[in-house]
Amino acid sequence: MQGVPARWWITITGKACRIMKALYFGLLKVVLCMIRRNTCMDNVRVYLAGPYSVGNKEANVVTALIYAETLIKKGFCPYIPHLSHYWDLEYPHDYKFWLEYDEHWLAVCDCVLRIPGESVGADREMKFAINRGIPVCLDIESLERWRKETKGAPAPADGK
């Protein structure tokens, strides 16, 4: 594969390989759905703020993906900062870099969904959003209410 260091593919085995394959095909599915239905062009961009470094990092990434998939099905366009986990495995950056990088994305999102759990980083992202007037929702139901009140309620991405 061009542009991808060979050592990266060689070192991924077992569970990590299954996670990467699921991630790749899951993201491919989401992107194709977005292209087909143009969901990101019409719908609310939601920044997912939640635990990453406390506990099992890969489990936290999977939790964020579960939230993202739920939001896609409800017609939202989620941004998943947790996916930088895989980027950082190959090209490590310090914690400050990732906080600043995520703040750039957070600034262009319409709102934040705070995934439950202990997280200094997610708490910081909530404060960042609040200081800039970006709404923060603590659950999907309140996110849906906020969208209906402020943006209208577009059809869910799965057509249901």
Tell me the pLDDT tens digit for each residue of 89-120: 999 999 899 989 999 999 999 999 999 999 99
pLDDT at residue 145, rounded to an integer: 95
- The single residue listed with the structure tokens 């934040």 is 112
Strand locations in the chain, DSSP E? 45-49, 77-79, 111-114, 136-137
Q: Considering only CA atoms, which of 95, 89, 104 is closest in space to residue 16? A: 89
* Tens of pLDDT, residues 60-85: 999 999 999 999 999 999 999 999 99
pLDDT at residue 43, rounded to an integer: 80
CA dist., res. 4 & res. 15, Å (int): 20
Domains, the chain, in order of start with CATH, read 6-150 (3.40.50.10400)
Q: What is the pTM of this model?
A: 0.72
pLDDT > 70 in the chain, percent: 68
Q: Considering only CA atoms, which of 62, 50, 30 is closest in space to residue 140? A: 50
**CA 78, chain centre distance (Å):** 5
pLDDT at residue 130, rounded to an integer: 96
The 10 Å Cβ neighbour count of residue 21 is: 11
pLDDT at residue 108, rounded to an integer: 95
pLDDT at residue 159, rounded to an integer: 41
CA dist., res. 100 & res. 153, Å (int): 32
CA dist., res. 62 & res. 120, Å (int): 19
Contact call for residues 65 and 31 (beta carbons, < 8 A): no
